[in-house]
Amino acid sequence: MMLSVIPSHPGQASTVPDEFGAPLEITPDDAQMAALRPQVIDALRTVFDPEIPVNIYDLGLVYDVFVDADRQVGIRMTLTAPACPAAQTLPGEVRDAAKRVEGVAGARVEIVFEPPWSMDLMTEAAKLQLGLL
């Protein structure tokens, strides 16, 4: 079953598997955040938006990365646009990249559209790579 991410979107709504539509229920654990969060972020830097040659972390698509006491990772992210064609594949790639980090017990991704993505969220390195600086 597919879940419409933005049911009120006037155009064609993006859809992603149900598992990416549910809000994260992760209570961050300071020790696990310190131990695993940097490694998860490094793993997320290996995932690229298929339409923009910049990794999703530097592109500013990742809003939060949480790790709880059981080493479960929660990633809150957005897409460049509500009807982004990558909505079908990108959340799964993000989840799988996080799960590959040694010590991570599992990972969940929440897709959000508030705040909306803008180029202001990109790192300077990403802007430089795209010739925006």
**CATH number reported for the structural domain that contains residue 110 in this entry:** 3.30.300.130
Distance CA 35, CA 91 (A): 23
Percent of the chain at pLDDT > 90 equals: 62
On whether residue 110 sits in a domain, the answer given is: yes
The CA-based angle 96-26-112, given to 5 degrees, is 70
Structural domain count of the chain: 1
pLDDT(11) > 50: no
Under the banding of pLDDT at 50, 70 and 90, the label for residue 94 is: very high
Residue length of the chain: 133
On whether residue 127 sits in a domain, the answer given is: no
| Torsion sign across C-alpha atoms 67, 102, 79, 23 | negative
Structure tokens at 67: 């790790």
pLDDT(62) > 80: yes
This prediction's pTM = 0.82
Cβ contact 97:46 at 8 Å: yes
Under DSSP, the state recorded for 72 is E
By residue range, what is the domain housing residue 24? 14-114
pLDDT(70) > 90: yes
